[in-house]
Each structure stands twice: as C-alpha cells, then as structure tokens.
C-alpha cells in the first residue's frame, strides 16, 4: 500500500488532491488451504484510513493466488477519486 500511495503522489503531485479511495484490490500468494486473506489486506485498508482519514474508507476485494510476479507475497491495486 505504501507503493500505491507513492504512485498516486507521483501521478497527481499532492495527496491533498485525493477526494477518496474508491476501492482496493488485493492478491495474496498463498496455498489452497489458506483462508485469512481478509486479515492480510487489513493492513492496507488501515493505512489508507490512516493517511486519508474518512476519505480513505473504501470498498475492497481480496483473492488468493498461487503466485505473483517477482515472487511478491502481496499485490495491492487501488482506485482513487482525484479532485
């Protein structure tokens, strides 16, 4: 999530332009028996609210996958409303 926020800042110049975090999506590299996907994504959701306040509250989806690029354990994508 830190990288997502950094990319938003690079794209818009100032995080105060973020009107709201619309949605976060998470991909968790895991085994088929893993079931705590939501717990893993809670950190990203909590950080969004910490950085953006109420504007950081969002919809979210999380899925488990067998692997991710560069052997990453987690991938987060975000949709932001900019004003």
Give the three-class secondary structure for 33: coil
- 34: DSSP letter: -
What is the pLDDT averaged over residues 22-48?
98
Tens digits of residue pLDDT in 42-75: 999 999 999 999 999 999 999 999 999 999 999 9
How far is Cα 22 from Cα 79, in angstroms, rounded to an integer?
Answer: 5
**Helices 37-52, 2-12: inter-axial angle, 10-degree rounding:** 40
| Tally: H helices and E strands in the chain | 2, 3
What does pTM read for this prediction?
Answer: 0.91
Answer yes or no: are the C-beta atoms of 33 and 67 closer than 8 Å.
Answer: no
What is the extent of the structural domain holding 43?
Answer: 2-82
Q: Report how many domains make up the chain.
A: 1
Q: What is the pLDDT of residue 12?
A: 97
* CATH number assigned to the domain comprising residue 45: 3.30.1330.40
């Amino acid at each position: 999530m830190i990288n997502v926020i950094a990319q938003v800042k690079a794209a818009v110049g100032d995080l105060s332009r973020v009107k709201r975090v619309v949605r976060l999506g998470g991909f968790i590299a895991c085994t088929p028996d893993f079931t705590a996907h939501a717990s893993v994504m809670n950190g990203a959701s909590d950080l969004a609210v910490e950085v953006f306040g109420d504007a950081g509250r969002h919809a979210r989806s999380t899925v488990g996958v067998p692997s991710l690029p560069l052997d990453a354990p987690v991938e987060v994508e975000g949709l932001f409303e900019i004003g």
